Amino acid sequence: MVSDARRRRSTPSSRWAPCGHRGCVRPDRERLLTAPTVVTFARTAGSLGIALGAAQARSLTWLLVALAVYWVGDVADGALARLTDTETRHGAVLDIVADRLCALGFYGGFVWLDPSMALPMGIFVFEFALVDAYLSLAFLSWPLSSPNYFDLVDRPIWLANWSKTGKVVNSSLVAVVMVTTRSVPLCTAIALGLLTVKVWSLARLARLGLPTPTGCAARDAGSGVEPTRVTGTSDPA
Ligand SMILES: [Zn+2]
């Protein structure tokens, strides 16, 4: 068995960036429309539609179908991207946003069916759709393909958030415990625990410092927008 690190050195592949890292950005591959992004759009529309129908019909079964479409679709678009060598930053951003919409459909529908879950659901959605959304999008500050490769920047943050275990705990624990136990204290404790991990990750991210792109946006885009001229006393304001 050859380790990833050794494969990286010994067999350079078109799947990897020029630097030799699989997770570093490959600007020539970036585009919005890929097979995985089509899957992401489809599974999001499907999951949200089923969740809305489930809430209207007050059906837990259909709500669980919506959750299954979200989770299976989320695994499928990622697997397809790796399989077809079409992992892009555009696809990663779309995936992050799509997951939040799918989660809102499921958790919103669940509270519609069982209002006693409002507190844990509210904490979880605040954590997932706001704090974790910002945290997940922070990968854009580095030349990375997606948060899945954040270990190239910081391993502790990656372990807590985007390792296989990190991702499963973040995205499924609250839902599974909510559906199986309906325990408000337990679900609230888990949601608060996740929020704590995210706040710790944000604090660590702030200490790392976010790199900022340099240069001129107008020049790079070729938009022709001129710099604002300071006109001194003739300013009408
Ligand atoms: Zn690299």
Q: What is the pLDDT of residues 175-210, one digit of tens each?
A: 999 999 999 999 999 999 999 999 999 999 999 998
- Tell me: pLDDT of 6 over 70: no
Decide which of 51, 86, 113 is a domain's last residue. 113
Work out the widest C-alpha separation in the chain, in whole angstroms: 73
Number of separate domains in the chain: 2
| Same domain? 66 vs 89 | yes
Residue 24 alpha carbon to ligand 1 centre in Å: 5
Residue 70 DSSP symbol: H
Asked whether the beta carbons of 36 and 81 are under 8 A apart, the reply is yes
- Confirm whether 22 is domain-assigned: no
| Same domain? 198 vs 123 | yes
pLDDT recorded at residue 10: 42
pLDDT recorded at residue 7: 43
Query: Model confidence at 8, in pLDDT bands (50, 70, 90)?
Result: very low
- Tell me: pLDDT of 229 over 90: no
Residue 5 alpha carbon to ligand 1 centre in Å: 12
Residue 85 DSSP symbol: T
Question: How far, in whole angstroms, is CA 59 from its chain's centroid?
Answer: 28
Predicted TM-score (pTM) of the model is 0.87
How confident is the prediction for the chain on average, in pLDDT?
91
- Tell me: pLDDT of 9 over 80: no
pLDDT recorded at residue 23: 92
What φ, ψ does residue 86 adopt, rounded to 5°? -125, 40
Decide which of 113, 134, 156 is a domain's last residue. 113
In whole angstroms, give the CA distance from residue 194 to residue 101.
19
Residue 77 alpha carbon to ligand 1 centre in Å: 24
- Confirm whether 173 is domain-assigned: yes
Within 10 angstroms of residue 237's Cβ, the number of other Cβ atoms is 2
Residue 163 DSSP symbol: S
Q: Could you report the per-residue pLDDT of 89-119, keeping only the tens digit for each? A: 999 999 999 999 999 999 999 999 999 999 9
Query: Model confidence at 67, in pLDDT bands (50, 70, 90)?
Result: very high
Decide which of 113, 138, 173 is a domain's last residue. 113
- Tell me: pLDDT of 2 over 70: no
Residue 28 alpha carbon to ligand 1 centre in Å: 15
Q: Could you report the per-residue pLDDT of 38-57, keeping only the tens digit for each? A: 999 999 999 999 999 999 99
